[in-house]
């Protein structure tokens, strides 16, 4: 599906969305008449410091508006922009800032939904799609936190070893199916069905419900994450209680 097809399917009541380079920003009307903010990085382009700071600024403007309308973040990107200029500017801080603005928006009452409809990788994927409260995807999307050749360079393990691990353990493997198994992606939408009702169903989920760990356990992609997170939270709460009891 093209971006125009997706927007038309999501917002049959219309939208006003501007494109600047590979970035989109604007507002649309949901079938129930309520507004929704739309942001995104598109056209398979890398996410650099310039784009990250603009998108973060947009999110902050939305939070300052106080309207608590949901934010849909569309994602079709490469990885972060790997240029000397961006690295010298402190690209990792720009990406972190963008991710934190999305977390802030969720905490301030804006539902944040990521829609991955193309590619995305590495820091760009973490700072956009994975930073939203709920991430969904369309068939054909191809996410990768890190591809196997890059993983081999970082870990110094032979790529054949990593391929074997990827076949047995989804957390090692790129691709849509593996990201679903780990719980990172809540659901893959049916592109043959109307998109607007599928978005409405996501918006009806309880606010602040982060069930990625549980989904990873149920789907077999991350068997220990939810249990370990619960143990850490319990230990932290017990320590806090002991200090202030």
Q: Which residues share a beta bridge with 71?
A: 37, 112
Q: What is the tally of structural domains in the chain?
A: 1
**Is 171 part of a structural domain of the chain?**
no
**Is 8 part of a structural domain of the chain?**
yes
Tens-digit pLDDT profile for residues 6-33: 999 999 998 999 999 899 999 999 989 9
Examine the pLDDT at 66 and tell me if it is beyond 80.
Answer: yes
Structural tokens at position 47: 């996410």
Average pLDDT, the chain: 89
**Is 239 part of a structural domain of the chain?**
no
**Is 104 part of a structural domain of the chain?**
yes
Which whole-number Å values give the CA distances from 98 to 49, 81, 123, 210, in the listed order? 10, 15, 11, 19
Tens-digit pLDDT profile for residues 113-126: 999 999 988 899 99
| 194: CB partners within 8 A, 6+ apart | 9
Tens-digit pLDDT profile for residues 128-175: 999 999 999 999 998 887 778 888 888 898 989 888 888 878 776 778
**Is 119 part of a structural domain of the chain?**
yes
Residues 64, 68, 69, 73, Cα dihedral to 10°: 70
Helix (H) or strand (E) holding 75: strand 71-80
Structural tokens at position 17: 């969305």
- pLDDT value for 121: 86
- CATH of residue 125's domain is 3.90.226.10
* Coil, helix or strand at residue 42: strand
Range of the domain at 131: 3-139+189-210
Cα separation, 78 vs 44, in Å, equals: 5
User: If DSSP states are collapsed to H, E and C, what string results for 116-171?
Assistant: ECCEEEHHHHHHCHHHCCEEEECCCCEEECCCHHHHHHHHCCCHHHHHHHHHHCHH
**Is 115 part of a structural domain of the chain?**
yes
**Is 101 part of a structural domain of the chain?**
yes
Tens-digit pLDDT profile for residues 162-182: 888 888 787 767 788 888 888
Residue 118: count of CB within 10 angstroms of its CB: 21
- pLDDT value for 243: 73
* Global confidence as pTM: 0.87
**Is 148 part of a structural domain of the chain?**
no
């Amino acid at each position: 599906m093209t971006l125009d097809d997706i927007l038309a399917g999501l917002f049959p009541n219309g939208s006003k969305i501007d494109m600047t380079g590979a970035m989109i920003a604007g507002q649309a009307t949901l079938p129930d008449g309520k507004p929704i903010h739309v942001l995104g990085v598109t056209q398979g382009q890398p996410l650099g410091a310039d784009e990250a700071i603009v998108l973060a600024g947009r999110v902050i403007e939305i939070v300052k508006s106080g309207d608590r309308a949901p934010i849909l973040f569309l994602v079709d990107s490469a990885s972060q922009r790997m240029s000397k200029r961006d690295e010298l500017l402190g690209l990792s801080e720009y990406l972190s800032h963008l991710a934190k603005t999305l977390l802030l928006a969720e905490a301030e009452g804006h539902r944040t939904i990521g829609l991955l409809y193309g590619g995305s990788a590495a820091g760009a994927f973490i700072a956009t799609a994975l930073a939203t409260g709920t991430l969904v995807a369309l068939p054909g999307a191809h996410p990768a936190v890190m591809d196997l050749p890059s993983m081999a360079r970082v870990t110094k393990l032979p790529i054949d070893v990593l391929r074997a691990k990827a076949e047995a353990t989804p957390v090692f493997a790129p691709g849509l199916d593996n990201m679903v198994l780990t719980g990172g992606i809540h659901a893959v939408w049916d592109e043959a069905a109307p998109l607007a009702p599928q978005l409405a169903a996501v918006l009806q989920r309880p606010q602040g419900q982060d069930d990625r760990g549980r989904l990873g356990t149920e789907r077999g992609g991350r068997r220990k994450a939810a249990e370990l997170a619960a143990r850490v939270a319990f230990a932290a709460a017990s320590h806090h209680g002991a200090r202030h009891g």
